[in-house]
């Protein structure tokens, strides 16, 4: 729509040029320009509100300890050594590795386990399907607190506390949000394609593998990304199940632990740690933005 009106504006000015006369800007035109300026001013104001915290955090991460406690806004001198100090004072590499292992395996698990479930809930007809789907949705609404006490005990009995297993293994048994998102997408695949495969004698597994998954790549990518991000950000899970075993701390628990130990006096190092922690996901976002936005829209609008 925006593009179309741009084209018409351009066409209009071309017409003016051809006629060899430029009319003075009419009232309507001036009003339109003022509206445009107002619109952008508002949008830019919001942009400043959203982006400025990043600027301050990055700048502070480059200040000396003393300067970070002052109200200075610009680092002088630039203390690049803060980032080295972080790596020296906290086992960041260890934390990062744990986080990557957790996030990667959990993403794989969620995709492997949720795709067939979403397929059965959208593309196979069976009695009780709707009821089961409602239960899947209901589990999404269930506060995690209602299940953690027995889960903690189960994982303790299995000897999994202090390892990443309580975080990774459940991901291989379907994730309600991912099932929901995938189902919404699978529903949009035209029935004819699936019927055609059925007529050709394909069984359900073949249809899922050859037809549905091929068409649903963007949705699967979105699910994997969301899960990766969820695991990357997850704080409560690692806090609960790490059982104070520093060797399996993820970045979230590790950095929280690190800053609580030096609370409020080392803003520069805290900010450096925060920058390190947020950088990877921001880079992922900038590259995979489309999948993110589509995934969110899919769950939000059609929900």
Partner 1 sequence: MAIAVTKDATTAERRQLRRRRGRRRGLVILAFMSPWVIGFLWFYLYPMLATLFFSFTKYDGIRLAPHWVGLFNYRALFTNDPLFWKSLANTVWIVAIGTPLQILFALAVAWALTRPRRGQGIYRTLYFLPTMVPAVAAALSFIYLLSARGPVNSTLRLLHLPDPNWFLDPAWSKPGLVLLGMWGVGEAIVIFLAALLDVPAHLYEAADIEGASTWQKFRNITLPMISPVIFFSTVIGVIYGFQYFTEAYVVGLGTGGAGANAGGLGSPNGSTLFYTIQLYHQGFEEFHLGYASAMAWVLFLIVMVCTMALIRSSNRWVYYQGGFR
> Is the CB of 185 or the CB of 267 nearer to partner 1?
267
Nearer to partner 1 by Cβ, of 3 and 18: the residue is 3
Integer Cα distance of 107 and 100 in angstroms:
10
Q: Is the Cβ of residue 4 or residue 93 nearer to partner 1 in the bound state?
A: 4
Taking each helix axis from N to C end, the angle separating 267-301 and 251-261, rounded to the nearest 10 degrees, works out to: 150
CB of 84 vs partner 1, minimal distance in Å: 19
Q: What is the DSSP letter of 71?
A: S
Q: How far is the CB of 224 from partner 1 (least distance, A)?
A: 16
Report the nearest approach of partner 1 to the CB of residue 43 (Å). 5
Report the interhelical angle of 129-141 vs 92-122 (nearest 10°). Answer: 150
CA pair distance 267, 92, nearest whole angstrom: 17
Which is nearer to partner 1, 21 or 125 (by Cβ)? 125
Q: 57 or 193: whose CB is closer to partner 1?
A: 57
Q: How far is CA 24 from the centre of its chain?
A: 49
Residue 20 or 150 with smaller CB distance to partner 1: 150
Q: State how far the alpha carbon of 80 is from the alpha carbons of 29, 53, 61, 130, 173, in Å.
A: 51, 20, 8, 57, 44
CB of 158 to partner 1, least distance (A): 11
Smallest gap, in angstroms, from Cβ of residue 285 to partner 1? 5
The least CB distance from residue 22 to partner 1, in Å, is 22
Nearest C-alpha neighbor of 149 from the set 243, 233, 234, 240 = 240
Of 8 and 19, CB closest to partner 1? 8
What's the burial of 95, exposed, middle or buried (CB within 10 Å: 0-12/13-18/19+)?
buried
Q: Write the DSSP assignment of 115-171 as a string of letters.
A: HHHHHHHHTS--TTHHHHHHHHHHHHHS-THHHHHHHHHHHHHTT-TTSSHHHHGGG
Q: Which residue has the tokens 């699936």?
A: 194
Q: How far is the CB of 20 from partner 1 (least distance, A)?
A: 28
Cα–Cα distance measured from residue 147 to residue 185, given in angstroms and rounded to the nearest whole number: 29
Closest approach of partner 1 to the CB of residue 289, in Å: 6
Which residues are CB-contacts of 152 (< 8 A; sequence separation ≥ 6)? 161, 240, 241
Nearer to partner 1, 18 or 150 (CB): 150
Q: What's the min distance (Å) between Cβ of 15 and partner 1?
A: 20
CA 82/CA 62 separation, integer angstroms:
7
State the residue for tokens 């394609």. 193
The CA distance from 23 to 261, in Å, is 69
Q: Give 79 or 253: the residue with its C-beta nearer to partner 1.
A: 253
């Amino acid at each position: 729509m925006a593009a179309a009106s741009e084209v018409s504006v351009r066409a209009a000015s071309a017409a003016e040029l051809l006629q060899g006369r430029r009319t003075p800007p009419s009232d309507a035109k001036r009003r339109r320009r003022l509206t445009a300026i107002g619109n952008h001013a508002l949008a830019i104001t919001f942009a400043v509100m959203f982006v400025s915290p990043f600027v301050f955090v990055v700048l502070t991460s480059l200040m000396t300890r003393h300067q970070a406690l002052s109200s200075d806004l610009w680092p002088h001198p630039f203390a690049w050594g803060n980032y080295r100090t972080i790596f020296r004072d906290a086992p960041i590499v260890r934390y990062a590795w744990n986080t990557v292992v957790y996030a990667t395996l959990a993403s794989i698990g969620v995709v492997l386990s949720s795709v067939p479930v979403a397929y059965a809930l959208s593309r196979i007809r069976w009695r009780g399907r709707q009821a089961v789907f409602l239960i899947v949705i209901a589990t999404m609404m269930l506060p995690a607190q209602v299940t953690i006490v027995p889960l903690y005990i189960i994982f303790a009995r299995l000897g999994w506390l202090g390892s990443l297993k309580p975080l990774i293994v459940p991901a291989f048994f379907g994730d309600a949000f991912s099932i929901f998102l995938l189902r919404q997408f699978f529903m949009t695949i035209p029935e004819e394609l699936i019927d055609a495969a059925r007529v050709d004698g394909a069984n359900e597994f073949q249809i899922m593998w050859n037809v549905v998954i091929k068409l649903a790549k963007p949705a699967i990518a979105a699910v994997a990304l969301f899960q990766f991000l969820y695991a990357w950000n997850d704080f409560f899970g690692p806090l609960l199940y790490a059982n104070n075993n520093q060797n399996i701390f993820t970045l979230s628990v590790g950095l929280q632990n690190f800053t609580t130990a030096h609370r409020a006096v080392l803003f520069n190092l805290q900010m450096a740690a925060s920058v390190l922690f947020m950088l990877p996901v921001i880079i992922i976002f900038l590259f995979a933005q489309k999948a993110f936005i589509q995934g969110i829209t899919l769950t939000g609008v059609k929900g």
